[in-house]
Amino acid sequence: MTTRWKRFYEKQMADAKLRELVESELENLQLGVQIAKLRAAENLSQTKLAARAEMSAPKISAMENEPRNLTIGTLIRVAHALGSRVEIKLVRASSKLRASRVERSGGGGSREGRVKNRSLKPEGCGTRRKVQKEKSKPAL
C-alpha cells in the first residue's frame, strides 16, 4: 500500500536538484552517525568524548548532527579518543549524480581550458604591512 508520504517523497525525488541536495545531506550525515555509533559502543557521553578528545561537548554534538567543515586533524583526535582510526577513500559517484553535475557546470569537456592559474595567497597579501611600516618611518 502506498502512503501519502511515499507518494509525496517520490514526487519530490523526481526533481533532480532536490534529489541531489538530499543525497548530499545524507552523505554528510553518514560521518556523524558513525561518530555517534562508536561513542555509544564505548558507553561515552558527548561530554566524556569531548574531554578525551580535548575539545568542547558542543563541538562533538555539531560533528554528530551537522558534520560540516571538519578538518582531518579534528577527525583524527575524535577517532583516537574512540579507540579508532580514520580511513579516507574516494568512491566514484553514481552516473546520474555525475551527469547532473556536468549539466550544472556547463559541459563535460576537459577542465584544462577552464582552470585558472591561482596563487596560494590572494593578490597583494602581506604588502599592506610593508607599506604601513615604510610610511611610519621618519624621513631623513
> Is 43 part of a structural domain of the chain?
yes
pLDDT at 139: 59
Domain that holds residue 31: 4-105
- Residues 59-95 have pLDDT tens digits of 999 999 887 788 999 999 999 999 999 988 888 877 6
Task: Tell me how many domains the chain contains.
Answer: 1
Q: Is residue 35 part of a domain?
A: yes
**Is position 120 within any domain?**
no
Work out the average pLDDT over 100-117.
49
- Is residue 126 a part of any domain in this protein? no
**Residue bearing the bigger pLDDT, 57 or 140:** 57
pTM of the full structure: 0.53
Mark residue 11 as left, alpha or beta (left: phi above 0; alpha: psi -120 to 50; beta: remaining): alpha
Q: Is residue 44 part of a domain?
A: yes
Task: Give the CATH number of the domain where residue 98 resides.
Answer: 1.10.260.40
Q: Is residue 50 part of a domain?
A: yes
